[in-house]
Structure 1
């Protein structure tokens, strides 16, 4: 199995989402495609507010991370500028993947599954290890796989408070390896 989606193939943080944007250019995507400047805006315009929210929440999460451990926020003066100038581009170390997680236990990469429903589908299909420990109804963690399940990347489901929780869980994963 290989990773398919947007971003940097040499990612340190990957978010897994069930669907990809309904744009003909991405229909047969079978690699990790680095986005170019302006492509996130184009996807938002073509595919609607839901995709804008996904990109916004992803960028906000990167800005919520502790600078002692993660340097994403050093690349731009705001989460909006990071989204527009760096997120999912070559060299960003970020990925948004439409394929199931491919976990390499020798890698330092961190993995986030966006949405409990998607995580449960992956579990039932045997696409991810059942080593997840559910912390509550919305969050799960697998320390060995460096994997977190969180609410879907949408403002209503993954509020700023919950983004901070994900950021805290990511720090826990980094510190335990």
Structure 2
């Protein structure tokens, strides 16, 4: 897919929906790379890409390698309001961002040990605070990974 609304795998396991685009997106779309995205943008984007890798990495402790070598082969960033029909799972970060999508959260239930995160397994929808370290600590990421694992997100 070559659109400035989308960066990453054509059929991603996980799409992170964000309300704003990074710098040099048109160049990045042609050759998606987390390293190029980080180099062309602020520390803010490094945090977003790192959190995406921590959640999506098939092996929790190997998220750095996953981020640097294969993140955009298995995941994507999407910037338009509305869900893409090519993704296995959808991750919307931030309450303001969620408002762009209407009533998607009507079937989502908070995680027992982490009420700031909601999941709707039927829609394969993950709702979290905005992807920033202050709001998505390693502890919160671990709760997200545990929930996604219960629904078969990670390959066995």
Q: Secondary structure at the match of 1:138?
A: strand
**Is the 2:18–2:97 Cα contact (8 Å) retained in structure 1?**
yes
Q: Secondary structure at the match of 1:44?
A: helix
Q: Secondary structure at the match of 2:101?
A: helix
Q: Secondary structure at the match of 2:152?
A: helix
Query: What is the aligned partner in structure 1 of residue 71 from structure 2?
Result: 87
Question: 1:122-146 CA distances to partner (integer Å, 9 max, x unpaired)?
Answer: 22xx6x4633334576222222211
Aligned residues: 148
1:109 to 65, 83, 88: 88
**Is the 1:5–1:98 Cα contact (8 Å) retained in structure 2?**
yes
1:99 and 1:142 mapped to 2: Cα distance?
Answer: 21
Segments of structure 2 that go 5 or more residues without pairing to the other structure are: none
1:119 to 98, 106, 112: 98
**1:15–1:156 distance in 2 versus 1, CA, 3 Å:** same
Query: What is the aligned partner in structure 1 of residue 19 from structure 2?
Result: 18
Displaced runs of 4 or more, over 6 A: none
Query: What is the aligned partner in structure 1 of residue 39 from structure 2?
Result: 45
The TM-score with structure 2 as length reference comes to 0.76
1:157 to 135, 148, 155: 135
1:99 to 76, 80, 83: 80
Measured on the aligned residues, the alpha-carbon RMSD in Å equals 3.0
**1:115–1:34 distance in 2 versus 1, CA, 3 Å:** farther
Question: 1:97-127 CA distances to partner (integer Å, 9 max, x unpaired)?
Answer: 11234365xx88111112222113322xx6x
Query: What is the aligned partner in structure 2 of residue 167 from structure 1?
Result: 145
Segments of structure 1 that go 5 or more residues without pairing to the other structure are: 64-71
